């Protein structure tokens, strides 16, 4: 197979690349390091995070920002680099590239993303809506399902859709994701202990002892406190669980809103098939039980949830009817 088929999930925190026949071949921070002026790209992905970690005269650029959408120039440079890594510098056999985008991204922005992907070296560029890709990657039979919800819990955002017979019936997207959970943990500990946390420690608390629902075991973790601190801070699982209740409630509200938007004819099917959770945040303990209780529908976590969007994006290249009309660009 000379023309490679590549699916790319460029997220807020992570970028994954799926190559047909090979699987997920790249999973790195969605990050670039430039010189101080931001003029020259020095490193991309994992190499960028290592370079930035060493300090010095560098600047961090994230192509996808939770609050401000996509920096299309930066995204173009990043795509060019990633495609180059997959197909090599010679561009004789340019790849077919499918990129996932948030459903809220406008027509003009979609055009820009497609053009950037073409400039980055694609032979054909296609876009797919993130929740549709997530559902395909979660092995939902999107073409035949009579109604199911998919909730992709990312770092910067949560993207939701109701899908039936190959179409999205309703969508929702909120700028609350894993990052917001980390910020909520930081804020709660600051209020309670008058103490900031060291970099990355809020996320570590979430990953190691975090849970959406109260846990029976009384666990705790000692984490590095922020500037000026002389001792580590002992944090209990109960504190973490309480700290994240507010952003979790926002996510639950968005799921309820989506459910309310499902057309009457599909409601019974959706209530029966429930919701499937994808994205890194789907790995939070208790999240399925938590959302099931609030939405009143069955909820399950997809297998390997963090890869679903990338895998589904790549799989969609063999299944082009799942992309919206006009969402591709060929030379």
Ligand X SMILES: Nc1ncnc2c1ncn2[C@@H]1O[C@H](COP(=O)(O)OP(=O)(O)OP(=O)(O)O)[C@@H](O)[C@H]1O
Number of Cβ within a 10 Å radius of residue 307: 22
| 10 or 48: CB nearest Mg ion | 10
Minimal distance in Å, beta carbon 18 to ligand X? 13
Taking CB positions, which residue lies at the least distance from Mg ion? 11
Residues 160, 163, 169, 171: what is their CA dihedral angle, to the nearest 10 degrees? 10
Number of Cβ within a 10 Å radius of residue 215: 16
Minimal distance in Å, beta carbon 202 to ligand X? 9
| 96 or 179: CB nearest ligand X | 179
Nearest-angstrom CA–CA distance, 70 and 79: 13
Residues in touch with ligand X (CB under 6 A): 11-14, 30, 64, 154-157, 177-179, 203, 206-207, 210, 279-281, 283-284, 306
Taking CB positions, which residue lies at the least distance from ligand X? 178
Spatial neighbors of 151 by CB under 8 A, at least 6 apart, are 131, 158, 159, 160, 251, 255, 275, 276, 277, 278, 279, 282, 291
What are the CA-CA distances from residue 122 to residues 2, 8, 118, 159 (Å)? 13, 12, 5, 26
Minimal distance in Å, beta carbon 175 to Mg ion? 13
Which of the stretches 71-79, 147-155, 178-186, 261-269 binds Mg ion when contact is defined by CB under 5 A?
147-155
How many residues belong to the chain?
A: 331
> What is the contact mask toward Mg ion in residues 10 to 39, using x (rule: CB under 5 A)?
-x----------------------------
| 148 or 244: CB nearest ligand X | 244
Q: Which of 154, 177, 210, 281 binds Mg ion (CB under 5 A)?
A: 154
Q: Which residues bind Mg ion (CB under 5 A)?
A: 11, 154
């Amino acid at each position: 197979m000379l023309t490679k088929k590549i699916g790319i999930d460029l997220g807020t925190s992570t970028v994954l690349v799926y190559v047909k026949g090979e699987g997920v071949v790249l999973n790195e921070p969605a990050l670039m390091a430039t010189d101080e002026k931001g003029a020259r790209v020095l490193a991309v992905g994992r190499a960028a995070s290592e370079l930035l970690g060493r300090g010095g005269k560098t600047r961090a650029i994230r192509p996808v920002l939770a609050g401000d959408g996509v920096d299309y120039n930066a995204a173009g440079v990043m795509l060019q680099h990633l495609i180059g890594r997959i197909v090599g510098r010679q561009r004789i056999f340019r790849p077919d590239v499918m990129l996932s985008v948030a459903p809220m991204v406008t027509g003009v922005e979609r055009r820009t993303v497609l053009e950037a992907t073409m400039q980055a070296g694609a032979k054909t560029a296609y876009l797919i809506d993130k929740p549709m890709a997530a559902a395909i990657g979660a092995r939902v039979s999107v073409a035949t399902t009579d109604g199911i919800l998919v909730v992709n819990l990312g770092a910067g955002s949560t993207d939701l859709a109701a899908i039936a017979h190959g179409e999205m019936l309703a969508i929702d997207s909120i700028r609350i994701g894993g990052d917001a959970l980390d910020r909520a943990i930081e804020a709660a500990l600051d209020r309670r202990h008058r103490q900031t946390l060291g970099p990355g420690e809020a996320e570590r608390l979430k990953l190691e002892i975090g849970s959406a629902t109260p846990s029976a075991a009384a666990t705790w973790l000692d984490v590095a406190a922020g500037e000026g601190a002389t001792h580590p801070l002992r944090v209990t699982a109960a504190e973490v669980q309480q700290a994240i209740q507010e952003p979790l409630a926002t996510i639950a509200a968005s799921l309820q809103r989506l459910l309310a938007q499902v057309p009457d004819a599909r409601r019974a099917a959706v209530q029966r098939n429930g919701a499937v959770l994808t994205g890194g945040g789907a790995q939070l303990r208790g999240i399925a039980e938590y959302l099931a209780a609030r939405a009143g529908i069955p909820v399950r976590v997809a297998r390997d949830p963090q890869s679903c969007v990338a895998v589904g994006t790549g799989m969609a290249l063999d299944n082009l009817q799942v992309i919206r009309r006009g969402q591709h660009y060929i030379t």
